Amino acid sequence: MSLLLLMSILNGLTLAALLFVTASGLTLSFSLMRVVNLTHGAFYLAGGFVGLSVLKFSENWVLGVMVGGLCMAALAFFEERFLLR
């Protein structure tokens, strides 16, 4: 199996996993709150941006993942608690 084919398969699986996470978050928020919350994808994108910014600043991948996730968790908590209820 060539390296190009292997990389294409891995890229496809990664994209499928990302789309699954985004779609399952939309489904979960709609089923629990009965509100179509389309910010799930925007939070995913913003978390990636924050994580990448922290990674470039600190050169620590784990710190970037943690800070990006925690920032988006805090923002999502604020949105759910004060804007959607």
Q: What is the pLDDT of residues 61-83, one digit of tens each?
A: 999 999 999 999 999 899 888 88
Question: Is residue 40 pLDDT above 80, yes or no?
Answer: no
- Interhelix angle 39-58/61-78, rounded to 10 degrees, is 150
Q: How far from chain centre, in Å, is Cα 11?
A: 17
Are 19 and 41 within 8 A, CB to CB?
no
pLDDT digits (tens, 9 = 90+) for 46-62: 999 999 999 999 999 99
pTM over 0.85: no
How many C-beta atoms lie closer than 10 Å to residue 63's C-beta?
14
Give the whole-number percent of the chain exceeding pLDDT 70.
98
